[in-house]
Amino acid sequence: MNQQDFEARHREEWARLDEWLTLSARKRPADDDFPRRYRGLCQQLALARKRRYSSGLVAELNALVLRAHHVLYGERASGDNRWLHFLLAGFPQALRSNARLVWLATALFVVPGLALAFACHLDSDMIFSVMSADEVRSFEAMYDPANDRFGRERGAGTDLTMFGYYIKNNIGVSFRTFAGGILMGLGSAFFLLYNGVMIGAVAGHLNQAGLAQTFFPFVIGHGAFELTAIVFSGAAGLKLGGALIDPAGLRRIEALRLAAREAIVIMYGAFVMLVIAAFIEAFWSASAALPEHLKYSVGGALWLLVIVYCLFSGRRDAA
């Protein structure tokens, strides 16, 4: 069959399919026959190539097949309760199956943090080796017991302002900590160390300066979600780096892609945890009206909740 006969025979069919595909997904009338028509089109493209029809026709059919392919394979699996299942099982399972990386990230964050906390606690000038005098003064002002809100400078804004700030800043840190992992894990390690050092230094310094009774009740509540989520983001980033350093027999690019698929699961969870943390930090932790012991007991309960959740949630239906 020559090209013109071939085109004449199928042209109308192609035009119909083209028209159907051009409609937006919602306006498209249901067509149970679509998979069959798609296979027919694939066959026509294969024929056109095999018979060496002109490149214009082949390109046209190829474009049509691509669009149909997109629609056919774009059908979404309906996900009942996928989110709930993810939160109750998928996320903690992903953490546990990457336990070594989570512990490594924890160490990268906690060890230098504790070291700096002790150093700054013992030596009141130590803090100036990691931050400027202005920054130190502003931290001291944030936890002045005379404030009606802790963790922010006087007049920094309302609880809602601070909520927005925590979302933008903390989740941004989490995302960067993850992304840095693709540089052989070095970026993630850097952010973990850096944040550990900064937080440890501030904690040690404020403790030494006699502001422990405002600082620790402030951080304990949201810290349960925030500090852990930063560590988890670091672990997700280290997963990317680990795949590049030791691809375990796969091509590095292949290993990276598989690692990213798993790491992103951890990132969904870290994201949710940081949103929760921002709520607690803006509306609960900052309040000076709440008594210290209440903040400690609620904060302690939240830590317990997070730890139990990470260790045990979803163990029963682990595949």
Partner 1 sequence: MTVSEPPLDTLLEVEAPEGIELCADLAGPVPRALAYAVDLLLRTLIIGALALITAPVGGAGLGFYLVVSFLLEWFYPVFFEVLRNGQTPGKRRFGLAVVNQDLSPVRLDASLVRNLLRAVDFLPLAYLGGLTSMSASRYFQRLGDLAAGTVVVHRDHRRPHAALPDAPPRVPDAPLGVEDQLAIIEFTQRHAQLSPARQEELADILAAHTGVHGAAAVSRLRGIGNWLVGSR
Sole binder of partner 1 in the list 23, 46, 99, 107 (CB under 8 A): 46
Angle at 252 between CA 237 and CA 267, to 5 degrees: 20
Angle at 187 between CA 186 and CA 189, to 5 degrees: 65
Residue 97 touches partner 1, criterion: CB under 8 A: no
Residue type, 131: M
Residue 300 touches partner 1, criterion: CB under 8 A: no
Direct distance between the N- and C-terminal alpha carbons of the chain, in angstroms, rounded to an integer: 55
> Which residues lie across from 287 on neighbouring strands?
149
State both tokens at 191.
Answer: 């952010």
> Which residues lie across from 149 on neighbouring strands?
287
Residue 16 touches partner 1, criterion: CB under 8 A: no
Rounded CA separation 152/213 (Å) = 16
Binding mask 164-183 for partner 1 (x = CB under 8 A): xx-xx--xx--xx-xxx-xx
DSSP readout, 68-94?
Answer: HHHHHHHPPPP-TTHHHHIIIIIHHHH
Q: Which residues are within 8 A (CB) of 179 and not within 5 positions of it... i.e. 6 or more apart? A: 187, 237
Sole binder of partner 1 in the list 15, 23, 63, 122 (CB under 8 A): 63
Sole binder of partner 1 in the list 120, 192, 229, 240 (CB under 8 A): 240
The minimum distance between CB 315 and partner 1, in angstroms, equals: 24
Residue 9 touches partner 1, criterion: CB under 8 A: no
Residue 34 touches partner 1, criterion: CB under 8 A: no
Residue 253 touches partner 1, criterion: CB under 8 A: yes
Residue 162 touches partner 1, criterion: CB under 8 A: yes
Residue 10 touches partner 1, criterion: CB under 8 A: no
Site size with partner 1, rule: CB under 8 A:
58
Binding mask 98-127 for partner 1 (x = CB under 8 A): ------------------------------
For 234, other C-beta atoms within 10 Å of its C-beta total 34
Residue 69 touches partner 1, criterion: CB under 8 A: yes
Q: How far is CA 138 from the centre of its chain?
A: 30
The minimum distance between CB 153 and partner 1, in angstroms, equals: 14
Mark out the alpha helices in 88-211 (DSSP H runs). Answer: 91-97, 99-122, 133-142, 159-179, 186-208
For partner 1, the closer of residues 164 and 300 by Cβ is: 164
**Chain contacts with partner 1 (rule: CB under 8 A):** 2-5, 38-39, 42-43, 45-46, 49, 52, 54-57, 59-60, 62-63, 65-67, 69-70, 73-74, 157-165, 167-168, 171-172, 175-176, 178-180, 182-183, 187, 240, 253, 256-257, 259-261, 263-264, 267
